[in-house]
């Protein structure tokens, strides 16, 4: 589910997020399940995906919990089950999507894998994300070009002064001068025109495209869950055939897995395989597709 609900994304403007925190949340969206939860988030994965240090991972996690953006539950295996609060898509039907009732920002495009995007300041990232969202917010037909009058663009994003002298806070809480500087950076991702007092923003095609990969969003999420389950159960270098077989079983039983702990199933599977070995330290920690499917059938019957 490489997507963030619009209402959740809009709340980012009010949370005083750092650049690394925004990257953290985007990477979470890559691997979340339909309820907005990522099982088995390990600091090493975040170091690679979000280009952050181990300390940044722990700092971001603690800060985002404090700000009420995520929930985090630790495990005995030095990883965490993390939920992006409010990002639950489980109640929506296919009709909801077809009718355009599900509003979300898709994180499946190349924009969110771009190394230069990682280097932007927090408010610059939010501005790019908001403009991108307007073009492809999850509606069946997104707009090709975003048109907005220059004065309205300033009023929307920058701090201005009302006629009575009171201050009006913009979405980004920046000065008009700072917003003008941001426009120069936007040209990396958007073609920008100004005609008769109207701005025209069109995202460059290469950043709108989905990330080049044969993996579907579902496959990426399932792979993450299975890898986390193997790590938690100390299954090292699993047999590729058995690993792939279990992954395929998980993909075909996606709805059943919404309420099943895959790590627990793998733990039970290892215990059954080693029934005759009393000492767990001597257990053979391997995968077996047929046994996994049987256990899955048992718990979902």
pLDDT at 143 over 90: no
pLDDT at 138 over 50: no
Tell me how far CA of residue 264 lies from CA of 71, 229, 239, 268, in angstroms: 21, 8, 19, 6
Beta bridge partners of 41: 80
Q: Does residue 284 share a domain with residue 245?
A: yes
Q: What is the pLDDT of residue 139?
A: 42
Count of domains observed in the chain: 3
% residues pLDDT > 70 (the chain): 96
Q: What is the pLDDT of residue 137?
A: 55
pTM score: 0.87
pLDDT band at 140 (very low <50, low <70, confident <90, very high): very low
> Any idea what the CATH number is for the domain that residue 168 is in?
1.10.10
According to DSSP, residue 269 is labeled: H
User: What average pLDDT score do residues 152-164 get?
Assistant: 91
Kindly provide the residue ranges of all beta strands, DSSP E only, lying in 119-272, ordered along the sequence.
Answer: 146-149, 160-161, 167-168, 190-195, 198-203
Tokens of 246: 């279990």
Structural domain boundaries, residue 201: 123-208
User: What average pLDDT score do residues 232-240 get?
Assistant: 92
Q: What is the separation, in whole angstroms, between the first and last Cα of the chain?
A: 26
Task: For residue range 247-256, list pLDDT tens digits in order.
Answer: 999 999 888 8
Residues 212 and 222: their CA atoms lie apart, in Å, by: 18
Kindly provide the residue ranges of all beta strands, DSSP E only, lying in the chain, ordered along the sequence.
Answer: 3-5, 37-42, 70-74, 79-84, 104-106, 146-149, 160-161, 167-168, 190-195, 198-203
Q: Which one of 208, 236, 261 terminates a domain?
A: 208
Task: For residue range 209-227, list pLDDT tens digits in order.
Answer: 776 455 677 888 899 999 9
């Amino acid at each position: 589910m490489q997507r963030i609900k619009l209402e959740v994304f809009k709340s980012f403007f009010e949370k005083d997020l750092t650049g690394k925190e925004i990257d953290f949340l985007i990477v979470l969206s890559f691997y979340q399940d339909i309820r907005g939860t990522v099982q088995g988030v390990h600091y090493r994965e975040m170091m690679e995906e979000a280009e952050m240090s181990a300390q940044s991972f722990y700092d971001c996690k603690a800060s985002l919990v404090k700000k009420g953006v995520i929930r985090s539950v630790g495990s005995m295996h030095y990883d965490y089950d993390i939920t992006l609060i409010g990002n639950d898509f489980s109640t929506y039907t296919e009709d909801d999507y077809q009718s355009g009732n599900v509003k979300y920002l898709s994180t499946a495009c190349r924009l969110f894998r771009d190394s230069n995007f990682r280097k932007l300041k927090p408010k610059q990232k939010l501005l790019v994300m908001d403009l991108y969202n307007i073009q492809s917010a999850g509606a069946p037909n997104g707009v090709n070009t975003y048109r907005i009058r220059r004065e309205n663009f300033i009023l929307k994003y920058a701090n201005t002064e009302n006629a009575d002298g009171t201050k009006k806070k913009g979405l980004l809480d920046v000065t008009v001068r700072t917003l003008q500087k941001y426009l120069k950076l936007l040209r990396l991702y958007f073609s920008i025109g100004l005609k008769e007092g109207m701005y025209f923003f069109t995202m460059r095609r290469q950043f709108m495209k989905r990330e080049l990969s044969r993996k579907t969003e579902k496959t990426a999420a399932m792979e993450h869950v299975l890898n986390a389950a193997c790590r938690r159960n100390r299954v090292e270098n699993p047999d590729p055939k058995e690993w792939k077989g279990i992954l395929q079983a998980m993909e075909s039983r996606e709805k059943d897995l919404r309420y099943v702990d895959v790590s627990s199933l793998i733990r039970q599977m290892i215990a059954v395989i080693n029934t005759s070995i009393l000492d767990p330290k001597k257990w053979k920690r391997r995968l077996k597709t047929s046994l996994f499917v049987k256990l899955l059938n048992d718990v979902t019957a």
